[in-house]
Amino acid sequence: MAKIIVVTSGKGGVGKTTTSAAIGTGLALRGYKTVIVDFDVGLRNLDLIMGCERRVVYDFVNVINGDSNLNQTLIKDKRSDNLFILPASQTRDKDALTPEGVERVLNELKETFDYIVCDSPAGIEKGAHLAMYFADEAVVVTNPEVSSVRDSDRMLGLLASKSKHAEAGEKIKEHLLLTRYNPERVENGEMLSVSDVEDILSIPLLGVIPESQAVLKASNQGVPVIMDDKSDAGQAYADAVERLLGKDMPHRFLELQKKGLLQRLFGGR
């Protein structure tokens, strides 16, 4: 049975697309047939992060309007046979998405894929609403910072009231993913700690992604950061994917590491 996972946050710039790319790639690398759908119509980014921007012909809005079919539109990832990307349209806006159209496309994707990862746009308007409406599970991406936490809280409220499962009286499975975490700044009291955020949002913690140079580098190279298994961020995303699949993994990168000279030179762990 195909699962629809929405990656959402409310606030922009917290790492939704990076997370969608990492989790989608991670699931595919573990043998699940996965498609990542970019819901950010008008501000298409997923194709860049996935490094497939030069192969976009048709897009999500074309499929909804019936201008193209899924076979023509889905872009196959070069790194994994199990991974596909459904890019957003850059020339249209969120109004081009209709609930009926989105539902039809998702139902069609469900026939072939194990996981459908929906990369939500920022905000709580139409695009974000449609991205989460049909979801079975939600990954709420949050930065350890008060405004991001409040927006995530708002998003959790919407997930619990304005989604298809909620309207049927069921619950969406919620996961908290804390990104851009910097243990040093937490120790100095400049950043909220994991327990602060867990306390406010009170949902299970899927993972903590440390703030890392590797993320920006990966984005600019168009390689999902999870492929960089030498980096702390890549390893943290890999752990998060395992937890998403139900495996119990200890959380890493929460404590400040006193780095020795060799570690400074060679990095990683």
Partner 1 sequence: MTADTTLDLLDNDPVFHLKGGMLTMTVVELVRLSHDHFARQLAEKVEQAPNFFVDTPVVIALDKLTDPINAAGLTKLLATCREHSLQPVALRGGEDFRALAQSAGMVLIPVGRQREKIIEAPAPQPTPEPVTSAPPAAAMPSGGRLITEPVRSGQQVYARGGDLIVMAPVSAGAELLADGHIHVYGPLRGRALAGVQGNTEARIFCQNLEAELVSIAGQYKVAEDLRKEQHWKQAVHISLAGDSLKISAL
205 binds partner 1 (CB under 8 A): no
185 binds partner 1 (CB under 8 A): no
By CB under 8 A, name the one of 79, 110, 150, 185 that touches partner 1: 150
Q: Let me know: does 120 contact 16? Beta carbons within 8 Å.
A: yes
Q: Which is nearer to partner 1, 106 or 206 (CB)?
A: 206
71 binds partner 1 (CB under 8 A): no
Residues that bind partner 1 (rule: CB under 8 A) add up to a total of 12
The piece of 34-42, 70-78, 108-116, 194-202 that touches partner 1 (CB under 8 A) is: 194-202
Q: Which is nearer to partner 1, 71 or 161 (CB)?
A: 161
161 binds partner 1 (CB under 8 A): yes
The piece of 74-82, 107-115, 146-154, 248-256 that touches partner 1 (CB under 8 A) is: 146-154
Hey, what are 253's tokens?
A: 């990168």
CB 166, min distance to partner 1, A: 10
Work out the number of other CB atoms within 10 angstroms of the CB of residue 119: 27
By CB under 8 A, name the one of 103, 114, 153, 198 that touches partner 1: 153
147 binds partner 1 (CB under 8 A): no
131 binds partner 1 (CB under 8 A): no
What is the C-alpha separation between 103 and 133, in angstroms, rounded?
Answer: 9
107 binds partner 1 (CB under 8 A): no
The piece of 57-65, 156-164, 189-197, 207-215 that touches partner 1 (CB under 8 A) is: 156-164
CB 23, min distance to partner 1, A: 23
202 binds partner 1 (CB under 8 A): yes
Q: Which is nearer to partner 1, 56 or 200 (CB)?
A: 200
200 binds partner 1 (CB under 8 A): yes
DSSP-derived secondary structure for the chain: --EEEEEE-SSSSSSHHHHHHHHHHHHHHTT--EEEEE--TTS--HHHHHT-GGG--S-HHHHHHTSS-HHHH-EE-SS-TTEEEEPPPSSS-GGG--HHHHHHHHHHHHHH-SEEEEEPPSSSSHHHHHHHHT-SEEEEEE-SSHHHHHHHHHHHHHHTTSSHHHHTT---EEEEEEEEE-HHHHHTTSS--HHHHHHHH-S-EEEEEEP-HHHHHHHHHT--GGG-TTSHHHHHHHHHHHHHTT------S-SPP---HHHHHH---
Positions that interact with partner 1 (CB under 8 A): 150-151, 153-154, 156-158, 160-161, 199-200, 202
